[in-house]
Amino acid sequence: MTTKELLYVEDVLGHETYFQAQCQDTIGKLRDPELKTCVEELSRKHAQLFQNFFGLL
């Protein structure tokens, strides 16, 4: 993996961590169960994307 590619993967990992944290923060503030379920699914998707990209390392 080139240095540029490694930097890209590191960037993506940071973004996915941020998005997952934002989802978790939002889940705690939501009252609507349907919306909460939707954001929980987004959080799981970001966690899976993180694992996929981490696996490239």
Looking from the CA of 49 toward its CB, the CA atoms found within 13 Å total 18
> What's the pLDDT score for residue 56?
80
Q: Determine contact, residues 46/13, Cβ cutoff 8 Å.
A: no
Residues with pLDDT less than 70, the chain: none
The set of residues, in sequence order, having a beta carbon less than 8 Å from that of 49 and lying 6+ positions away, is: 12, 16
pLDDT recorded at residue 9: 87
Q: What is the pLDDT of residue 57?
A: 80
State the pLDDT at residue 31.
Answer: 96
Residue 12's pLDDT is what?
Answer: 92
pTM: 0.82
